[in-house]
Structure 1
Amino acid sequence: MALDGNTRLAEVTEQVIRPLNQTELKAATALVKDLIKQEPELLEPLGADGPLRNFVLAALTLSPYLREIAEVRPSLLLQAVTQPVEPMLAEAVADARNAWRADGSGAAPSEAVVMTRLRLAKRKLAFVTALADLARIFSARDTTRWLTALADASVAAAIDHLLVSGQEAGKLVLKDIAEPSRGSGLIVLGMGKHGASELNYSSDIDLVVFYDAEAGILRDPEDAMETYGRMMRRLVRMLQERTADGYVFRTDLRLRPDPGSTPLAVPVEAALIYYEGRGQNWERAAFIKARPVAGDLKAGEGFLRELVPFVFRKYLDYAAIADIHSIKRQIHAHKGHGAIAVKGHNVKLGRGGIREIEFFVQTQQLIAGGRMPDLRIRGTEEALAALARAQWIDTATAEELTECYWFLRDIEHRIQMVRDEQTHILPETEAELKRIAFMLGFIDTSAFSKALDEVLRTVEKRYARLFEKEEGLSSAAGNLVFTGQQDDPDTLKTLAGMGFERPEAISSVIRTWHYGRYRATQSVEARERLTELTPNLLKAFGESRRADEALLRFDEFLSGLPAGIQLFSLLGNNPTLLDLIVRIMAAAPRLAQIISERPHVFDGMLDPALLVELPTRDYLERRLRSFLSGARHYEDVLDRLRIFAAEQRFLIGIRLLTGSIGGAQAGRGFTELAGLVIGEALTAVIAEMEAAHGKIAGGRVALAGMGKLGSYELTAGSDVDIILLYEHDDDAGDSDGPKPLDPVRYFTRLTQRLIAAVSAPTAEGVLYEVDMRLRPSGNKGPVATRLRAFTKYQREEAWTWEHMALSRARMIAGDASLMTEADAIIAEILKTTRDEAVVTKDVAEMRKLIEKEKPAGSIWNLKLIPGGLIDIEFIAQYLALVAPARGRVVVTNGLSTADALVAFGDLLDANDRDTCLSALKLYTDIAQVTRLCIDGGFEPQGAPAGLVDLVARAAECPDLKTTEAEVKRLSKAVRKVFGRVVA
């Protein structure tokens, strides 16, 4: 039934629930007659048979708790059956929130009066909400929302009362007696279902209380612990003590830091230190739902912002996920919830229950929330939807679990409505189970049991998919036993059957792992995780070519890890990543080295969209903005840039390794990444310079990317060629900061700082190796070049090879106006008409010199072989320089070599152009893969088996022999083109 704000129980027109039995129905009928005598106005709605009377009688038979309230407060029953539901509830919430305020006499109410007001509001809301829920006017969503609203109001009112009492007792000095909590520094967080606005019908409320002793309301800050401790004891009493009017909420403060040794209210500073240094994974999960519900709400929001790095780690944290899963296993083991049943089943903690859905959501929020702020959502339903939007789970899973969640919450509400008990366990007896089935609208317990069983099994199935099934060292292929000093014969047979050529060596390696001889396997927990992972690890490696070699490389990788639990947990929870790491170990020692030194680079691979999203500039820029958003100072910015660059280089490499992008796309991705992070480094360096030395009048800076950085052709291991250009007013003097510098020294120092920022080794590694030899006068020239000096040099002094290099120049960062001016100057120089004979002679001599000084040495040196990459690049650069003399102007700066070749049109024979483009694609695809996977040159004899396969795949050839023949064919053809073009 849709709510319009005026919906009434009297609108129930069909039988939504049935009475428990005839005996109970007779008793309820007699009670209603008695209530009509006490409240004659009940006669009209309930005096005669009809849907409303039948509904009320059925409800009173099913819930002794509701029957008791009706007996005590007939007037409440009258209100419930005659007035609109939601205005009644809103009135109850308002009554609770204002319970601390003075009445008409102007006198502040006593604590006893506040307690009574809160209890009357709770009784009213609980009674009306239950009837609306049973009548299906409310869904479980509505019920949880209204119960949470009352909890918020009750806690806030009690806190306001206690603060006012503190001022009256001379302990506090409030900033505003009309709003006692404002600016008080007293933070009350609702945790769990309270924080998520998902309270169940008879919920406890979990609160955590912190205080800022420096907020200025304590007369004596030394008394803070005693004052607030006493206040919290009174808070608990006000909310949960049972009086003649009942209770408000059972209240639990045990989610505070280290509850066995800390006061009921904890200083903010001490709490932050605790969470930073000793916080547990279960606390991280708990704080996902935390919400300020009372006290100083603004301070509460600030405190939660401070906790974001604790709750949502910058790096993905699979060790925490395994830890949380172990908590779930302990619940099953110690509380006897090991099987799915209906009678006696715990719908919260049992298999397939509410807790599994919550764990399903929270674990993935912990995994990815640090990287995806959109997943930092308190509500379970909303979080499931967010996970689906982020493609972390599929839409069908989100919808299925959402439906299951609210079905189970409905059952939970009805279990608790029976006698207002905080229980989640279904009755053991048929008679009592029928009560729950009827409350839910089922015709009998059989129909209910069937529906519940289906939901529980659905949840269990989804939850089981999230966590790999726990297994010991056993395998469908046979024994896998690695204890003791001797090899187990059956284990050796199993290993051989899996594909290992030297099973004894492999068995020895695995025993080394389990003996804890590496740092990564020294802890008991790490070895347990690795033991669980081993069968799948061996299966995956066994399926790779040259399985022994791949596993031994993994062993080498493992031996260098400072810790292993994170990686083992990650691989154990993600079978697809296990397959990928096997591929890395089989083909890419360089990537293996990267993840051994910086395991966090593996984190981004958990993004479900990784292999379908291209690493475009927009894609990278969005992620970089998010990653830098929390950086507070210069070194932090630079460290984050190094982390981001390392991770994104790795992820671009993974796309290349898996074949989701080709060599040219990888080159563009690597280049866009370099341009972005170097640009951010330049921005940070300029800000530091201005802070220390001020500004130069009219000072502007821009960076030119040269070589492969200019032509979008960087590889995973490329250094970057840059030139820093600057300009300033002609009459500019020293900078205007605290440590003035003249313009030349200013921009020289800025450039030196930029080089250090980009290339200095730190704990987070190096951004890029920087090469500035392409600046005017090379290494002999100044590191920073004024634009007018750069222009004069290029016009009057530059050699042919420098103009060739200029044809690949591209402005990548800095002042927009200076970048535009520099682009115009470069275009002007490239449009200059040159003596074609001189250019031809210079280019040919330069190629001969390179061939003499740096012979290729191997057909696989694709850059230096005759007809290799250098020949193709020289063809493009040569044509760029001679084009104006032939009546064609082709400005190639900012174009890739392939795009430049296409742009020359009639300057290059179409067949020759296609030959160059085919060879360029082949060389690029192979070079990108080899530079990704290994350091140094590719030689098939010493290369990993997996890399040999990758090279053939990149070349679109069936094997390496065919690939080599194709390289030879195309290189000969390119060399002939070079001879024809540069003639």
Structure 2
Amino acid sequence: MVKQFRTLAPKRASAHDTDMLDNTPLTTRITRIPRAFDPARGADVLRQIPSLPDRVADLVVGTAGCSPYLASSLEREGAWVAEAVLAPAQALDAVIGGLAALPPDRLADGLRQAKRRVALLVALADLGGAWQLEDVTETLTWLADAATDAAMKAALRAEIARGKLPGMTPDDVETGAAMVALAMGKMGAGELNYSSDIDLICLFDDSPFDRDTYPDARAAYVRATRKMTSLLSDITPEGYVFRTDLRLRPDASVTPVCVAMSVAERYYEAEGRTWERNAYIKARAAAGDIAAGERFLRDLRPFVWRRHLDFATIQDAHEMLVRIRDHKGLHGKLNLFGHNIKLGQGGIREIEFFTQTRQLIAGGRDESLRLRATVPSLHRLADAGWIAPDVAEALSDHYRAHRLVEHRLQMLGDAQTHDLPVTDEGFARLAAFMDTDVPSLKADITRRIRAVDRLTAAFFAPETASDGAAVPPQDGFGADVIARWRSYPALRSARAGEIFRRLRPRILARLQQAAKPDEALGVFDQFLSGLPAGVQLFALFDANENLLNLLIDICATAPALAQYLSRNAGVLDAVLGGSFFDPWPTDDALLVGLDHVMDGAPDYEQQLDAARRWMKEWHFRIGVHLLQGVITAEEAGGQYAALADAVLRGIWPRVVAAFERRHGPQPGRGAIVVGMGSLGAGRLHAQSDLDLILIYDAQGAEVSDGPRSLAVSAYFARLTQALVTALSAAMAEGRLYEVDMRLRPSGRQGPVATAWGAFRAYQQDAAWTWEHLAQTRARPIVGDVGLMAEFESFRRDLLRQKARGATVRADVRDMRARISAAKPPQGDWDAKIGPGRLQDIELFAETQALLSASPARAVAAQLTAASESSPALAAGEHLFWQLQCAQRLLTAGPLTADALGAGAQAFLLRETGQPSVAALNSTIERVAAQAASAIAAGLADPLSRTGESA
């Protein structure tokens, strides 16, 4: 038996082919039998169906003795039932699979007979415990798909035969003739209940029709839709097939019953509401032109599945539940008599809304959450960390139990009802139908209703669970600041103001717990003032206490990070994405993630914006991990660099592809992008720019071969500019990185892209010592693999050649002096500038690597390249990188103890391992002096080195 709903198609070959059901005789699978409420009626029906196996006979008596509807159906179809229970899958294949072949004059009656027979077999298998809930609902859905498809195609065939559908022939009917029925709700999810109506949205693909033929086509599709619904819904002496509801279509009060896809797309883009997004979670192309329907649903994904975590849907879903209950009069104290097991308190709809709303919240980011069926969706949400596993298990169990009760209620009279009985006799009949007693039945239903209500209530009204826990702020705390909040853009709408008023007591209470509450409040105020208009962020905080705590922690510690958040609030989505605190991924996995988000964007500009969103989330993650002590400064430096590498490796092929479309393929072997400086060394901080050079090998070509060909030098210069623009241009989602290309040959005076031969000649014959030093950290990142390998081989050969230079130490001493004169330290806590600090140590490390011809790029590895390593330099490099990495997370400007809040000071002291500000000051002075002394000694020209040749 199938355990999970599969995508249904109206032309499925057979139940055997899909493994939906097996063909085991029903008699061997029966595990329960209803008690006949009216034994005489049950016995009377059994006498009309001879030759039934004993267990099936008992099942028929119990069924007919409880359900008047099933009793009459058994009387009509007894002979068929006697055969069907021996091979149920085969019987279903014959009935449902045969619908497509029914002739027009037999279609209406044939559909109704199929419905009656399938309903009978499903009821017996369900009542006898032979099938699980999924088997029951999928079989009913399979029937609905096949019936809808047959009715639609019959109607379309008639329109085409009359010449009313322009351009369509009888052959087009087989594929749906550009018309599709989208199954919504339970039909879309494969969860049809026993006496369900079917919710359909009928659409037609209007792209094949021009202005002249469109009106006739639309009229034909509308007529076909009406004929289809009549075939399904009209009550005849043979009964009906399915009650059909078309009201979920776009703007149903004014649109025809079949809507053009382009019209529907424009509607959802401009006016679509949360309830419609919720409905489309389960939408499925079920009948007609399946391919066209699936294209439409793919195009609608951005409407249904929002890019950011969508917590605003919680309130919308809660309001929908309230409106439904208001309309149905379902409020008030729980009373089982007449209680609506679907829409009432603790009912099926609460479980569905709980599940679907969480899917909407996160499904835009996590495609694995985009399931249709309720129980699998609950377990997938648990797997992704959105709900606790025990909650998923409990709600799944209650959902199955509620659906069982729902089906029994509907089997009694084939009525689309969800109301429990209103009399004692009604409850007695229901209890017998479920083979239990009335007290046990009532107790079980009551327990489950209250459990569902308890599990879902806090989710839909989070303020009820959290406001009472908030510590009220001290009188007058932040009154002057709070007074101006209402004027901020983010709080101007009534909806945003309402949510924020719920949040405010919690926010103020947590701000007061900071080491310096007034400072933390000031930073939060700056954060709030920088937010754009909208309610999304506040809804997100309202629903997630941990995220609110993280924001307050950032405001109390890192003002620069809080300001970054106000400009890029969407990065907070990543915290709730389920993997925010997972280990850092491999380089390849990181690139795969970037490629995935860019591949989902429809054009080049949107790909670049997608890359910006992705990069900001990972950048924010690194900062938070460093701030909270999850990673060290050295790990953060490596992660920032790995992130930049992934961006370059992901962006470059798309820049090249866009450029090649205009100017042709890269001549020769093309170009490589080389990382220099800190990027080449594999260590960046939160505010690092990227030092890059671009080298190309045209292999003798003079011009490109494309629609707008360019001379080789111009081609690669403009390709370089395209890369820089892709990285640094301010777009809707901001920029990726600032780019610095001053380390290319001849600096600012040289071309932005350098030919491979010219680069080699320049480095060997004309480059200055500082340019050779820069090559110690050069690292090819992306481009032609062969050229990258040649570059690295040349770099190593170059270092071996230049290691013998007699003036290296003298040149570095001169450079050191000029750097010191040009830019003094910016305060005592300047980690970078000054004798013995980071820039000085890195320059000396490059010198060590050059003099020893070491291929090492990392600072620590370069410092040990010489035969003797200096503990003073190692200590300096470690301390000042910790200080630099932490500083650049806190601020872009100079850093002094007086300018830092208490939280930021505590963070710096933790990172540098110092007990106090005074101890940190003393350590900085001592370590810098020792490192400067070691550098001066290392750059001296001792007599032992006088033999070095030029």
Q: Distance in 1 between matches of 2:176 and 2:114?
A: 27
**Deviations, residues 132-185 of structure 1 (Å, cap 9, x unaligned):** 000000111100010000000000000010011112222126756356141611
**Deviations, residues 921-969 of structure 1 (Å, cap 9, x unaligned):** 3333332232123221222212233222221222244444444444344
1:575 to partner: Cα distance: 0.9
| Matched letter for residue 96 of structure 1 | L
Partner of residue 377, structure 2: 383
| Matched letter for residue 142 of structure 1 | D
Partner of residue 366, structure 1: 360
Partner of residue 628, structure 1: 598
Residues 871, 416 of structure 1: CA spacing in aligned structure 2 closer, same or farther, 3 A cutoff? same
Partner of residue 195, structure 2: 202
1:723 to partner: Cα distance: 0.6
1:457 to partner: Cα distance: 4.1
Counterpart among 66, 89, 94 of residue 91 in structure 1: 94
Counterpart among 476, 481, 503 of residue 504 in structure 1: 476
SS of equivalent to 1:582: helix
Q: Distance in 1 between matches of 2:745 and 2:414?
A: 84
Q: Provide the aligned C-alpha RMSD in A.
A: 2.6
Partner of residue 644, structure 1: 614
Partner of residue 927, structure 1: 884
8 A contact 1:692–1:738 mirrored in 2 = yes
8 A contact 1:427–1:433 mirrored in 2 = yes
Does 1:875 pair with 2:847? Answer: no
8 A contact 2:591–2:650 mirrored in 1 = no
Does 1:235 pair with 2:205? Answer: no
Does 1:356 pair with 2:350? Answer: yes
Partner of residue 897, structure 1: 859
1:125 to partner: Cα distance: 0.4
Residues 672, 14 of structure 1: CA spacing in aligned structure 2 closer, same or farther, 3 A cutoff? closer
1:267 to partner: Cα distance: 0.9
Partner of residue 106, structure 1: none
Residues 609, 851 of structure 1: CA spacing in aligned structure 2 closer, same or farther, 3 A cutoff? same
Partner of residue 781, structure 2: 812
**Deviations, residues 13-69 of structure 1 (Å, cap 9, x unaligned):** 66543233xxx1133223433x2xxxxxx33327xxx44333221112222221121
1:412 to partner: Cα distance: 1.6
Residues 412, 927 of structure 1: CA spacing in aligned structure 2 closer, same or farther, 3 A cutoff? farther
Q: Distance in 2 between matches of 1:236 and 1:217?
A: 28
Does 1:56 pair with 2:28? Answer: no
**Deviations, residues 47-105 of structure 1 (Å, cap 9, x unaligned):** xxx44333221112222221121233333443355x32222222221233333xx3xxx
Counterpart among 548, 554, 557 of residue 518 in structure 2: 548
Does 1:25 pair with 2:39? Answer: yes
**Deviations, residues 258-304 of structure 1 (Å, cap 9, x unaligned):** 11111111111111111111111111111111111111111111111
Partner of residue 903, structure 2: 946
Counterpart among 743, 750, 755 of residue 719 in structure 2: 750
8 A contact 2:676–2:743 mirrored in 1 = yes
Does 1:8 pair with 2:1? Answer: no
Counterpart among 688, 702, 705 of residue 718 in structure 1: 688
8 A contact 1:95–1:117 mirrored in 2 = no
1:920 to partner: Cα distance: 3.1
8 A contact 2:115–2:241 mirrored in 1 = yes
Partner of residue 483, structure 1: none
| Matched letter for residue 618 of structure 1 | D
Q: Distance in 2 between matches of 1:617 and 1:402?
A: 39
After TM superposition, the structure 1 stretch with the greater mean CA deviation from structure 2, 274-283 or 423-432, is: 423-432
1:627 to partner: Cα distance: 0.8
Partner of residue 782, structure 1: 751
1:250 to partner: Cα distance: 1.0
**Deviations, residues 521-554 of structure 1 (Å, cap 9, x unaligned):** 2221111111222222222222222223222322
Does 1:863 pair with 2:832? Answer: yes
8 A contact 1:725–1:784 mirrored in 2 = yes
Residues 115, 637 of structure 1: CA spacing in aligned structure 2 closer, same or farther, 3 A cutoff? same
1:852 to partner: Cα distance: 2.4
SS of equivalent to 1:255: coil
Does 1:849 pair with 2:818? Answer: yes
Does 1:433 pair with 2:427? Answer: yes
Q: Give me the TM-score of the superposition, normalised by structure 2.
A: 0.92
Structure 1 unaligned segments of length 5 or more: list them.
36-41, 103-108, 479-493, 497-502, 885-889
SS of equivalent to 2:744: coil
1:709 to partner: Cα distance: 0.8
**Deviations, residues 851-909 of structure 1 (Å, cap 9, x unaligned):** 2222214221111243221233133212211214xxxxx2114xx2234445x3x7233
Partner of residue 907, structure 1: 867
Q: Distance in 2 between matches of 1:250 and 1:533?
A: 46
Q: Distance in 2 between matches of 1:964 and 1:859?
A: 7
**Deviations, residues 642-663 of structure 1 (Å, cap 9, x unaligned):** 3322332222222222222222
8 A contact 2:338–2:421 mirrored in 1 = yes
Structure 2 unaligned segments of length 5 or more: list them.
3-19, 941-950
| Matched letter for residue 85 of structure 1 | P
Q: Give me the TM-score of the superposition, normalised by structure 1.
A: 0.89
Partner of residue 165, structure 1: 158
8 A contact 1:159–1:181 mirrored in 2 = no
| Matched letter for residue 844 of structure 2 | I
SS of equivalent to 1:405: helix
SS of equivalent to 2:244: strand
Counterpart among 280, 283, 301 of residue 273 in structure 2: 280
Q: Distance in 2 between matches of 1:960 and 1:406?
A: 62
SS of equivalent to 2:35: coil
Residues 477, 394 of structure 1: CA spacing in aligned structure 2 closer, same or farther, 3 A cutoff? closer
Q: Distance in 1 between matches of 2:880 and 2:340?
A: 63
Residues 918, 247 of structure 1: CA spacing in aligned structure 2 closer, same or farther, 3 A cutoff? farther
Residues 294, 473 of structure 1: CA spacing in aligned structure 2 closer, same or farther, 3 A cutoff? closer
Residues 463, 734 of structure 1: CA spacing in aligned structure 2 closer, same or farther, 3 A cutoff? same
Q: Distance in 2 between matches of 1:219 and 1:154?
A: 33
Residues 133, 918 of structure 1: CA spacing in aligned structure 2 closer, same or farther, 3 A cutoff? farther
Q: Distance in 2 between matches of 1:768 and 1:322?
A: 38
8 A contact 2:626–2:633 mirrored in 1 = yes
8 A contact 2:833–2:839 mirrored in 1 = yes
Q: Distance in 2 between matches of 1:851 and 1:159?
A: 83
8 A contact 2:318–2:461 mirrored in 1 = no
Does 1:418 pair with 2:412? Answer: yes
| Matched letter for residue 400 of structure 1 | A
Q: Distance in 1 between matches of 2:29 and 2:584?
A: 55
Q: Distance in 2 between matches of 1:465 and 1:963?
A: 48
| Matched letter for residue 711 of structure 2 | D
Residues 589, 338 of structure 1: CA spacing in aligned structure 2 closer, same or farther, 3 A cutoff? farther
Partner of residue 219, structure 2: 226
Partner of residue 110, structure 2: 117
Q: Distance in 1 between matches of 2:835 and 2:325?
A: 69
1:581 to partner: Cα distance: 1.1
| Matched letter for residue 419 of structure 1 | G
1:779 to partner: Cα distance: 0.8
8 A contact 2:23–2:87 mirrored in 1 = yes
After TM superposition, the structure 1 stretch with the greater mean CA deviation from structure 2, 573-582 or 58-67, is: 58-67
Partner of residue 7, structure 2: none
**Deviations, residues 456-508 of structure 1 (Å, cap 9, x unaligned):** 44433442454453349964567xxxxxxxxxxxxxxx422xxxxxx436234
SS of equivalent to 1:352: coil
Residues 697, 535 of structure 1: CA spacing in aligned structure 2 closer, same or farther, 3 A cutoff? closer
Q: Report percent identity of matched pairs.
A: 39
